[in-house]
Amino acid sequence: MKQETFNSIRKIHLIVGMVFLALMSFFTSQAKTCYYKDSGTTFTLLDSSILLGQSDVAYETESLYTVNSEEINLKAGDILSTSPVNDECVNATALDCGETVTGDTSTGTDSGGNPTPDLWYSYTGSGDQESVTISLCDGGTDYDSYLRLFDACGGTEIVTNDNFCGIWSEISFTSDGISTYHIMVDGWGTTSSGNFSLAVTCEPIGGGDCTEVEYFEDGLPTGWSTVINTGNCDWENKSYLPTGDQFSTLAMVFDDDFCYVDAPASNVTLLSDVYNTNGATSVLLSYDIAFQVSGTVQTATVEVYDGTAWQQIAFYDEDLDPDIQTESMDITVYSNADLQVRWTYDDNNEWAWHLGIDNFCLTHDGVLGISDNEIEGFSYFPNPTTNGINLSARENIEKVSIYNILGQKVVNQNSNTTSIQVDVDHLTTGTYFMEVSATGKTATYKIIKE
């Protein structure tokens, strides 16, 4: 077993009811008496050389003890702490979706944030992007709490919350499905601590279920655009909102407050890419929206293009509560080869707050067929293929999209040349449909991945 001499105060975490035997004195080989922890923070001690305490145990003599299967030298001044294992970020307790855990921050120490005791938890994605909520609002928290979310220990603070439900806290964020996020259960002010009940809930926001999905993490997506109809301010790619709850990840935001009171009237549009939903028997649209007014006349309008005209599917003219909501709707009736979605914000010449859009998801069950259209001079090879397809045409190829047999887009590549190579090495073996756009024409071709 490992021997280690303490040169300074060190914490060793104990488990309630676990017996620790003092095997021998460090200097004398004299057997020492055993001691154990009863419950809470009280120790039953049978050795007079060990001082009693409510939270810590101090040693007057240096002796060799077995703690957690390791022989450790303890000497005068060393402290055996009863702080929880997850008192520090590096020892954060992992959480799962649907789990509820309880704890007591008063047993911890202050590791940053507000000068109050805190404890740490972590959450790692399940592989698909999802909306995760960490809540202290189930009635099991008895102190004025504060929650913080970080992208790593010592990393960037992503989102915080104080009073989401009374004096208790709740945060929501978008997990990318891969990263580990760290949650600090903190207290408000300088003295708040106590018992808490922490619940984790998760909701899928697309990923594998969406035929088309945009999270805006890399800015305005290819094929999307913004239009300033009136005014001089444009949409921004950010998570900050001037009032209310914040997006936990990057979104597309029109920040009317940033334009200031003396700015001209703002009417702006966020316009999606064009999507071919021909043949679909179901077309579902979902998105996250944040909308807050400061006057009485601000509006947000959502429309879809049905191939001939724009059709309104949603209208907002009052504050959202909760501040950020997920909207889902069936737009099958508008299915066509040139479907688009647009969001228009109008402040009606009043200084106002914001409109934000995030987590766009378009799902349809259409299976692409072979197009009757042909692009003059277009060719592609090899087919079947194992890792790539070479495309060439007389005119510039503008865009190449590949769909699986469920109609889900699995490759999206933009171009402005007469010849390109499309990588399909990551695709599983099977049949796919390749949609090619060039010189204003779009044609679909069947390809086989071996």
- Helix (H, G, I), strand (E, B), or coil: what is residue 257? helix
pLDDT of residue 226: 96
pLDDT tens digit sequence for 197-208: 999 998 765 444
Q: Which fold has domain 209-364?
A: Jelly Rolls (2.60.120)
- Helix (H, G, I), strand (E, B), or coil: what is residue 342? strand
pLDDT tens digit sequence for 379-403: 889 988 888 999 988 888 888 888 8
Whether 5 shows a pLDDT value over 80: the answer reads no
pLDDT (mean) for 290-313: 92
Whether 128 shows a pLDDT value over 90: the answer reads no
pLDDT of residue 159: 85
pTM for the whole structure: 0.48
Whether 29 shows a pLDDT value over 70: the answer reads no
Whether 32 shows a pLDDT value over 80: the answer reads no
- Helix (H, G, I), strand (E, B), or coil: what is residue 259? helix
8 A C-beta contact, residue 87 and residue 54 = no
pLDDT of residue 276: 84
How is 333-368 classified by DSSP, letter by letter? GG--TTBEEEEEEE-TTS---EEEEEEEEEEE-PPP
Residue where the block lists tokens 């503008």? 398
Q: Which residue has the higher pLDDT, 77 or 102?
A: 102
pLDDT of residue 228: 95
Domain boundary assignment for the chain: 19-81, 86-204, 209-364, 379-449
Q: Which residue has the higher pLDDT, 151 or 278?
A: 151
pLDDT of residue 209: 64
Q: Rounded mean pLDDT of the chain? A: 78
pLDDT of residue 425: 87
pLDDT tens digit sequence for 42-54: 333 333 333 223 2
pLDDT tier at 353 (50, 70, 90 boundaries)? very high
- Helix (H, G, I), strand (E, B), or coil: what is residue 107? helix
Distance separating alpha carbons of residues 366 and 351, to the nearest angstrom: 44
- In angstroms, the Cα distances linking 20 to 13, 36, 45, 218, 430 are 12, 6, 11, 54, 61
Distance separating alpha carbons of residues 304 and 291, to the nearest angstrom: 19
pLDDT of residue 336: 86
Whether 21 shows a pLDDT value over 80: the answer reads no
Whether 331 shows a pLDDT value over 60: the answer reads yes
Q: What percent of the chain has pLDDT over 90?
A: 36
How many C-beta neighbours within 10 Å does residue 179 have? 11
Whether 374 shows a pLDDT value over 90: the answer reads no
Q: What percent of the chain has pLDDT over 70?
A: 77
Whether 412 shows a pLDDT value over 90: the answer reads no
pLDDT tens digit sequence for 230-277: 999 999 999 999 998 888 788 999 999 988 767 889 999 999 998 888
pLDDT of residue 116: 93
pLDDT of residue 215: 87
- Helix (H, G, I), strand (E, B), or coil: what is residue 46? coil
pLDDT of residue 115: 92
Distance separating alpha carbons of residues 169 and 35, to the nearest angstrom: 40
Looking from the CA of 385 toward its CB, the CA atoms found within 13 Å total: 20
pLDDT tier at 428 (50, 70, 90 boundaries)? confident
Residue-level length of the chain: 450
Whether 56 shows a pLDDT value over 80: the answer reads no
Domains 86-204 and 379-449 in one fold: no
pLDDT (mean) for 357-375: 71
Backbone phi, psi, residue 100, to 5°: -125, 125
Rank 70-84, 297-311, 421-435 by mean pLDDT and report only the highest: 297-311
CA 427 to chain centre: 26
pLDDT of residue 61: 39
One of 1.10.10.60, 2.60.120.380, 3.40.50.720, 1.10.287.610 is the CATH number of 86-204, namely 2.60.120.380
CATH code linked to domain 379-449: 2.60.40.1930
Read off the DSSP letter of residue 366. P
Examine residue 382 and say whether the peptide bond preceding it is cis (omega within 30 degrees of 0): yes
